[in-house]
Amino acid sequence: MRYLQIENARLIDPANNLDAVTEIFVADGRIQTIGRRPIAGEIEESIDAQGQWLIPGLIDLGGHLPEPGYSQKGSIASETRAACAGGFTHICSLPDTKPVADTAAVIQLVLEKAAKAGYARVLPLGALTQGLAGEQIANMVTLQEAGAVALSNARRPIKDNYVLRRLMEYAATYDIPLFLTANDEALSAGGCMHEGPTATRMGLSGIPETAETIAIAHILLLIEQTGVRAHISQISCARSVAMLTEAHQRGLPVTADTTLANLLYTDEAVEGYNSLFNVQPPLRSERDRLALLQAVEQGHLAISSNHHPHEIAAKKAPFADAEAGMSQYDHFLPQALGLVHRGELSIDALIRATSTTPANLLGLRQQLTEGAAFNACLVDPNAENVVTAQSLQSRGRNHPALGRTLKGQVKRVFVDGQLVFAS
């Protein structure tokens, strides 16, 4: 047997209470031994990772892949490579492509193109309703059989709570997990940022927190009634955290995530009408940001990317008219490590929220343990690099950190033992 040896790395895996400088041996795509040399075989390649961390690969619970349908914004190949550059080994792709991922053919197309690209593994989210129109149920079972790991309506509205209830009942019958977003369309209509003093001062229409919390209340009540396995994506408010905590205490089968942008920025980033910070859900107050960080630290929330690449023209319109979204895959881990360097989040909590918790939710085994598939990321936590348009793997040029120096750099990413990215 021929081995890849990684030595002198700090292995960090909270799922196994692992935090030690040691060596690891990989063969046939799996971790063979940790901290001891294999009895037989030879070393094919050795990497001295002095000063670097080896962590489980990141898993994204929601990113937009522009293919099929939006070639000007990127391709499956460009965005999965960007995901690897940010530390991801697996990404859940949202179904709002063109055509919508509401048929087995579109799911298979995404999987085939991702496999051909050979970067991050794509885990498609099938459309919850036909055409994401929020009215007619999609063929859930067929989509699951085609490879969809769960069903989602992206941020498109469901017609009403009666339809949502029926969707949940059907999904519960076949034990199909749902990824839901909480947004009351009537309350958020016309809004482009958080409703608060900044929006008032800038003369922009705001989206109140109640647009999210009222929708969460409806979702939680229907989860309780139907017993469906549900994940609430992209929460942004302190009150939402409190509602989900109470739901967990009552034993409801619900999980949730927040976006990295909502942990890094507040609505004050919109000052100057910077359309890079026009995102959905909107950036909220500092109070909300701190509550989300605390929930992540306590293990109650996962972190997703909400990656949404756009060409330059899409962000050149006035703030309220610019297309919402950030390109987040490139430099995702260095951005997140900023929270660790500032003492706002522990490294264990960050790994749990971006790898362990998403893996558990999706039924994956993403661990640094003997016998596990080697899906991992080598990162230099102290390397500094400037984010430039030329450094981006994504075709999206709407990256929030352009021109900034970030501390931390992804050095290598392995998917099932194969090196898929190196800087």
State how far the alpha carbon of 299 is from the alpha carbons of 303, 329, 397, in Å: 10, 23, 32
Helices and strands (H and E) in the chain: how many: 13, 18
**Residue-level pLDDT at 291:** 98
Structure confidence by residue, pLDDT tens digits, 196-234: 999 999 999 999 999 999 999 999 999 999 999 999 999
CB 415 within 8 A of CB 378: no
Identify the CA nearest to 89 among candidates 118, 126, 109, 68: 118
Instruction: Say if CB 31 and CB 24 are below 8 A apart.
Output: yes
Model's pTM, two decimal places? 0.97
Q: What is the pLDDT of residue 1?
A: 87
> Residues 6 or more apart from 242 whose CB is under 8 A from it?
none
Mind spelling out the 3-state secondary structure of 135-173? Answer: CCECCHHHHHHHCCCEEECCCCCCCCHHHHHHHHHHHHH
> What is the pLDDT confidence band of residue 40, given thresholds at 50, 70 and 90?
confident
DSSP 8-state class, residue 94: P
Q: pLDDT value at position 230?
A: 97
pLDDT in tens, 143-171: 999 999 999 999 999 999 999 999 999 99
Question: What CA–CA distance (Å, rounded) separates 154 from 63?
Answer: 10
The confidence band for 183, taking pLDDT boundaries of 50, 70 and 90, is very high
pLDDT tens per residue, range 321-360: 999 999 999 999 999 999 999 999 999 999 999 999 999 9
Q: How far apart are CA 343 and CA 365, in angstroms?
A: 29
- Closest by Cα among 271, 293, 292 to 209: 292
* Mean pLDDT (the chain, rounded): 96
pLDDT digits (tens, 9 = 90+) for 116-127: 999 999 999 999
| Angle subtended by helix axes 238-249 and 210-226, to nearest 10 | 20
Nearest to 278 by CA among 404, 400, 406: 400
